[in-house]
Amino acid sequence: MAEPLRVGFVGAGGIARGAHLPAFQALGDQVQVVAAADISEQALARFAEAARLPKKACFTDYTTMLDKVDLDIVVVCTPNSWHYQPTLDAFAGGCHVLCEKPVAISADQCREMIAAGHKAKKLFMVGQTLRFTKGAAIMKYWVDQGELGKVYWGRAQYLRVRGVPGSRGFVSKKMSQGGPVYDIGVHVLDLTLWLMGFPEPVSAFAGVYREITTKRSPLIPHAPSRYTVPEDAAFSLIRFANGATVCLECSWTLNLPSGGEHNVVVCGDQGGCQLEPPTLLVEKDGKLLKTTAESFPYPEPAGHREEVRQFVEAVRKRKPSPVPGEQALITQRILDAVYKSGKSGQAEAC
């Protein structure tokens, strides 16, 4: 058995402690979580307890961790605004990087992160967790089997009626930059684009709204003045060079009578499929046939466990990144254009 890969965390908050740490721990002696850095002593203490880390392995400045601890892998779980610099520094320190979504807060940042990974010859993966679920795997299987034919339309939908996150990090522009677009829209958009083969995006035409979080409500966990991200809902039509289009719809809060839901739908000239519940529709012999796939084999538990398992396998076996920065860049170019279009009222180039 090879030596365990030595893992350090930058950002030891909710997702680091609740999802990534157990996912690394589930890999047994393939990996060892040896250090963590967080600007919050409290977050660090809770993480250290769960990871059984001694005090000397905990740092309030991640650059000190990178200087002092010999690491193979750095997991970046900071708020969105601080994905970029720790990723660059981790690559400069010779580490592989698993970075939470959204990859960055601009396509330019993402380009630099990709270049830094190439320069260091290290693996770069972005934590697009939704891909590592059974429903996503079933859809990918149908697409790869050619069931859909020529794919020309997708719908990436993540709509909450009242579901603004409680943590201030998510609603502060300084920390998060974006609202539901960066929090949940990016998940369904990534999955839609992955199923469509990441076509080259051309433009996005978007409405980016902040209409409900501007007012005080017992159902919104933040005072309007503390809610500084640009949107609480956004809707966009995205065009691609191959003629395809995607509708992106996301909200943390929206007066939607039918209730909140998330789904991904991808349609081609021969068939179409959806995520929730996984269903394929094709026309055969003049009839519309629906297929569901409850018995599809997929490792359980999925999500972060499977994401981290595939990341570690790719590092160990020198396989390609399961979610490469280049794919995240296409998504980020679209999201940049969505925000720009929301401001200008025009379609904006991606």
Ligand X SMILES: NC(=O)c1ccc[n+]([C@@H]2O[C@H](COP(=O)([O-])OP(=O)(O)OC[C@H]3O[C@@H](n4cnc5c(N)ncnc54)[C@H](O)[C@@H]3O)[C@@H](O)[C@H]2O)c1
* Distance (Å) of CA 227 to CA 66, 170, 172, 343: 33, 9, 6, 18
Is 252 among the residues that bind ligand X (CB under 6 A)? Answer: no
Contact positions with ligand X (CB under 6 A) in 142-181: 167, 169
Residue number with the smallest Cβ distance to ligand X: 13
Least spacing, CB of residue 62 vs ligand X, in Å: 5
> Cα 65–66–70 angle (5° rounding)?
95
* Distance (Å) of CA 341 to CA 121, 213, 325, 349: 36, 21, 24, 9
**Cα–Cα distance for residue pair 286/100, rounded to 1 Å:** 46
Q: Give 129 or 310: the residue with its C-beta nearer to ligand X.
A: 129
Q: Give 71 or 282: the residue with its C-beta nearer to ligand X.
A: 71
Q: Which of 24, 82, 91, 209 binds ligand X (CB under 6 A)?
A: 82
User: What token pair was written down for 247?
Assistant: 């509708």
Q: Give 66 or 244: the residue with its C-beta nearer to ligand X.
A: 66
- 8-state DSSP, 179: S
Contact positions with ligand X (CB under 6 A) in 184-213: none
Q: Give 151 or 156: the residue with its C-beta nearer to ligand X.
A: 156
Q: x/- site string to ligand X, residues 33 to 52, per CB under 6 A?
A: ----xxxx--x---------
- End-to-end CA separation in angstroms for the chain: 46
Is 135 among the residues that bind ligand X (CB under 6 A)? Answer: no
Is 62 among the residues that bind ligand X (CB under 6 A)? Answer: yes
Strands (E), 227-319: 233-240, 245-251, 261-268, 271-274, 279-284, 287-292
* Interface residues toward ligand X, by CB under 6 A: 10-16, 37-40, 43, 62, 77-80, 82, 100-101, 127, 129, 167, 169, 183
